[in-house]
């Protein structure tokens, strides 16, 4: 009897140990499975992250040019033609030699410090004085046909007190009835158009430009 009890005790003990070992193996397997799932999840999250940034780059590449186009449409360029801006060298006199102006009438470049008053001018100002006024934000209205003088005088009166000069200019080409100049801008009209003149003045009159320091002995 005692022998049978000892054998039963050993079987029970062995069975308990086997059960404990199986439980430990299952627990270990569950832990390893959880670790594998975590690794997979981490890999999936990393993949989603890369995909997200690729998507954002594609969206930015598409929408940035579109936004720039919309901004350009919302703020279109001002009237007239943009001209190459020459160095604003200060001259001691209108007679000082200097580089030729890039446009006729001039829109930038060497000029004196002397300024002409706004309003109607019966004679054409020297180029060096014109540019001086343009550098301070003036708009100059040039007209070729003397038959336009009454209309030009009325225009100058309407702009009284503003940075606008109206003057005859016999040097305008035959196809240009009126030329409008501002610093770095020019607009040529084959006939007088009051609306276009007003639009040009509204955009550019009063926009002063930086003035260069005087040079010794005039321009080159």
Q: Per-residue pLDDT tens for 60-84?
A: 666 555 555 444 445 567 899 999 9
Q: Determine the distance from the C-alpha atom of residue 149 to the mean position of all C-alpha atoms in its chain, rounded to a whole number.
A: 40
In the chain, the percentage of residues whose pLDDT exceeds 90 is 57
Question: What burial class does residue 94 get, using C-beta atoms within 10 Å of its C-beta: 0-12 exposed, 13-18 middle, 19+ buried?
Answer: middle
CATH top class, domain 83-204:
alpha beta
pLDDT, tens digit (0-9, with 9 covering 90-100), for 4-47: 555 555 555 555 555 555 555 665 555 655 555 555 555 555 55
Mean per-residue pLDDT of the chain: 79
Catalogue the E-assigned strands of 80-204.
Answer: 81-82, 119-120, 139-143, 164-168, 178-182, 185-189
Query: pLDDT category, 172, cuts 50, 70, 90?
Result: very high
Bigger pLDDT: 54 vs 23: 54
pLDDT value, residue 109: 97
Contact (CB, 8 A) for 133 and 159: no
């Amino acid at each position: 009897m005692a022998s049978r009890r000892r054998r039963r005790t050993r079987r029970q003990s062995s069975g308990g140990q086997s059960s404990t070992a199986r439980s430990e193996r299952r627990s270990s397997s569950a832990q390893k499975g959880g670790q594998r799932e975590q690794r997979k999840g981490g890999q999936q999250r990393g993949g989603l992250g890369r995909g997200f940034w690729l998507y954002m780059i594609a969206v930015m590449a598409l929408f940035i040019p579109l936004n720039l186009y919309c901004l350009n449409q919302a703020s279109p360029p001002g009237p007239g033609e943009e001209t190459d801006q020459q160095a604003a060298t200060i001259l001691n006199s209108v007679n000082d030699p200097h580089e030729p102006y890039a446009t006729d009438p001039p829109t930038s470049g060497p000029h004196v410090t002397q300024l002409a008053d706004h309003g109607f001018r019966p004679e054409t100002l020297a180029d060096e004085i014109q540019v001086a006024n343009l550098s301070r934000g003036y708009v100059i209205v040039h007209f070729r046909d003397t038959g336009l003088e009454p209309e030009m005088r009325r225009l100058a009166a309407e702009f009284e007190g503003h940075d606008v000069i109206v003057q005859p200019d016999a040097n305008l080409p035959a196809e240009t009835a009126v030329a409008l100049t501002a610093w770095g801008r020019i607009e040529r009209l084959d006939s007088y158009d009051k609306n276009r003149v007003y639009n040009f003045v509204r955009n550019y009159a009063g926009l002063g430009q930086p003035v260069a320091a005087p040079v010794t002995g005039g321009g080159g």
